[in-house]
Amino acid sequence: MDKIRIALAGNPNVGKSTLFNRWTGMRQHVGNWPGKTVEKKEGTFKYKGQEIEVVDLPGNYSLTAYSVEEVVSRDYIVDEKPDVIVNVIDAANIERNLYLTVQMMELGANLVLALNMNKFAREKGLKINKKQLSQLLGVPVIEIEAVDDTGSEELLKNIVKSSQAPNIVLDRLEYGNEVSEHIQEIQEILDEDVPGLDAPSSWIALKLLEDDPEITKKIEESGNGQRVLKNVKKMQRHFNDVFGDDADAAITDARYGFIAGLVSESVKKPKIDKVTRSDMIDRIVTHKYLGIPIFLLIMWLTFQITFTLGDPLGGYIEEAFGWLGSTVAANMGEGFLTSFIVDGIIGGVGGVLVFVPLIFILFLVLSVLEDSGYLARAAFVMDRFMHKLVGLHGKSFIPMILGFGCAVPGIMATRTLENERDRLLTMLIVPFMSCSARLPVYALIVAAFFSAYQGWVIFSLYLLGIVVAIVVAAIFKKTIFKGMSAPFVMELPPYRIPTVKGALIHMWERGVLFLKKAGTVILALSVVIWALSSLPVGVEYASQDSITGQIGTTLAPVFAPLGFGEWQATVAIIYGFMAKEVVVSTFGIIYGIGEDSGGEATAEEAAPDEQVSSETSEGSSIEAAPAEEEAAPEEDPGFIAVMQELFTPLSAYAYMVFVLLYIPCLATLATIRRETNSWKWPGFAAVYTFGVAYVVSLVVYQGGLLLGFA
């Protein structure tokens, strides 16, 4: 038999992705659904020699046409017709999860039910008779634990069996006489007038009665649907007369009635709801007064762990690039090509890649927090604060948290917000979250000025980003986005211990984007910066006479009131607009990071006595100490010396604040353009974030001077 094609479907946070990762491991591909901005994950694995292709469908509560994710899922079931759909169900919330099950049964899907999180169900006192449930639904029901192998063999065996002998389930559904009769009437007219539909006519009839716009349009375009649509309108009026409500509500009630019957037959509930372990933890973690301090403590620990573990690892990468730079320089000798490879490529890209350990460790910690169920609590805790003070939906905090990794997925995550004004507003404030691309800039500067308080200083920047985002949101909410948000309703998944494999896969999925960027955008920009730093012909590389130096010199006075009016700092900010990592690679190219620690290349060009030499805007010479062979970039004494010449501690902090808040990178602006389908909002975001960054940095620097800081 050819490979079996299966899809994983279920509500959000039921363990679908955990199961997908366990089955496919690294044999998976992440992309977007055709024509959509919804993430698509697919992979393959083998079971007893049989190849199985699996697609992880977006998490949904239903299959209506209200969200892109729902449309993607049902279109896949209808158009692609997978051999088997594995419906992963949270056993602790089985009644709610079965609503999606019923909708997939209406589509005629060949289902296998995987009951996950059974220990949480038992903690709540639920006793599920899976044999009875299976008989009532007409599909296999298997108990599994997605985090380990429990039930895995039985589930796979039933998937193979069901692919060979599909489960017919349409006749199992019951809606009551009134609803069933009218569905049947519409179905018969459909079969006569519009035969050959790509989905069961009973499902089309249901969707027409529910006034589903996509299905209605499809029938209209068929050319033979007039009698069908006329009768649908007649039935809808009839439902209104009989039930005192529209057909949509009547059908929803009928589904819940069917589910209530199923549950009463197959699930025993305790007379009094039990207090679970998750409930007890939530009493502390989501406490009215303790919730926010606990959240801040966890974020502070995140950055401490990131720097404690990441710094030494970065040293090894720096050592490798230092060796590579000096080896290339020693073998090729001085010249234009050597400068291109050593200064442009190794200095630019290498200066950014040394921060890979920091970024991967940050993603790993965020993955553990997300997989454990804590991040959903963080959003819940912040809702109380954001809703009352800012008037913004607490759900907006999830995209903001994702923005700590990268603003692009954070902006895409705003699709979960139903209110369009909230969605636009959240898109505009997500770029204030300090993404991983800014981390290398902080690491470089705190090593030069705040080495004893690295974790605290960087924590303050992350906190400042949140505060500025909330203040800006409050201002926008009272001006251009007036109106209160809907009350916050969000599912809090049970706490669970993240799997090592799952956390590593999540870390890799996010971190690899940084590596790809280093190999494409940053490499290209490094070459551009190198060229601009080498021209016009004959000037000293990366000197003030080069094009780069001239651009920086022209614009530097704009930033002088902020404390960093030197041309080198200005050039780094300008190029950082393309991608924030480029701020560091620009410094790397200008000052020759990547070869100093290895020894000779740029040092020979810059100063015969093997010391780094550069010029400030005032024309003074900076002499850096000879580099030690195994120094990380932020530990490179030559680099630290030029940073200390370029900035004071106060201006260095103001510079980091500016980098934190100023114009989002090109990829982020392009994502806002794609999500809003307009250049108006990315243009607005670019202008207003520059203004905010300028004002806040000005306040930090000038305020610091008034208070006596230097």
The residues near 460 (Cβ < 8 Å, ≥ 6 apart) are none
Three-state secondary-structure class, residue 60 = coil
141 annotated among ligand-binding-site residues: no
> Residue written as tokens 């999500």?
675
Tell whether 570 is in a known binding site.
Answer: no
- On whether 563 is known to bind a ligand per the annotation, the reply is no
Q: Which residues pair with 46 in a beta bridge?
A: 51
Query: What separation in angstroms does the CA of 495 have from each of 121, 294, 547?
Result: 13, 16, 56
57 labeled part of a ligand binding site:
yes
Asked if residue 25 belongs to a known ligand binding site, the reply is yes
10 is in an annotated binding site: yes
Structure letter (DSSP) for residue 49: T
Instruction: Write out the two tokens for 601.
Output: 């290349």
**Is 13 known to sit in a ligand binding site?**
yes
Q: How far apart are CA 46 and CA 32, in angstroms?
A: 24
The CA–CA distances, whole Å, from 44 to 5, 28, 77, 85, 502 equal 9, 7, 18, 15, 17
Residues 6 or more apart whose Cβ sits within 8 Å of residue 100: 9, 10, 11, 60, 61, 62, 63, 87
Residue 36 annotated as lining a ligand binding site: yes
Query: Is 338 within any annotated ligand binding site?
Result: no
Q: How far apart are CA 519 and CA 553, in angstroms?
A: 30
Answer for the pair 158, 142: CB distance below 8 angstroms, yes or no. Answer: yes
Q: Is 38 annotated as a binding residue?
A: yes
Are the CB atoms for 85 and 77 separated by under 8 Å? Answer: yes
> 35: annotated binding-site residue?
yes
In this structure, the dihedral spanned by the alpha carbons of residues 591, 597, 598 and 599, taken in order and rounded to 10 degrees, is 70
Q: Is 58 annotated as a binding residue?
A: yes
Cis peptide upstream of residue 682 (ω within 30 degrees of 0): no
446 annotated as belonging to a binding site for a ligand: no
Is 225 one of the annotated binding-site residues? no
Q: How far apart (Å, rounded) are the C-alpha atoms in residues 65 and 208?
A: 12
Residue 680 · residue 541 · CB < 8 Å: no
The verdict on whether residue 11 carries a ligand-binding annotation is yes
368 is in an annotated binding site: no
Q: What values do phi and psi take at 166, rounded to 5?
A: -55, 150
Is residue 588 part of an annotated ligand binding site? no
Q: With contact defined as beta carbons under 8 Å apart, do 616 and 565 qualify?
A: no
166 is an annotated ligand-binding site residue: no
| Residue type (1 letter), 540 | E
Report the distance separating Cα 393 and Cα 387, nearest Å. Answer: 6
Residues 6 or more apart from 204 whose CB is under 8 A from it? 187, 190, 197, 215, 219
39 annotated ligand binder:
yes
CB 509 within 8 A of CB 41: no
Which parts are annotated binding residues for GTP? 10-17, 35-39, 56-59
Which parts are annotated binding residues? 10-17, 21, 24-25, 35-39, 56-59
Which parts are annotated binding residues for Mg(2+)? 21, 24-25
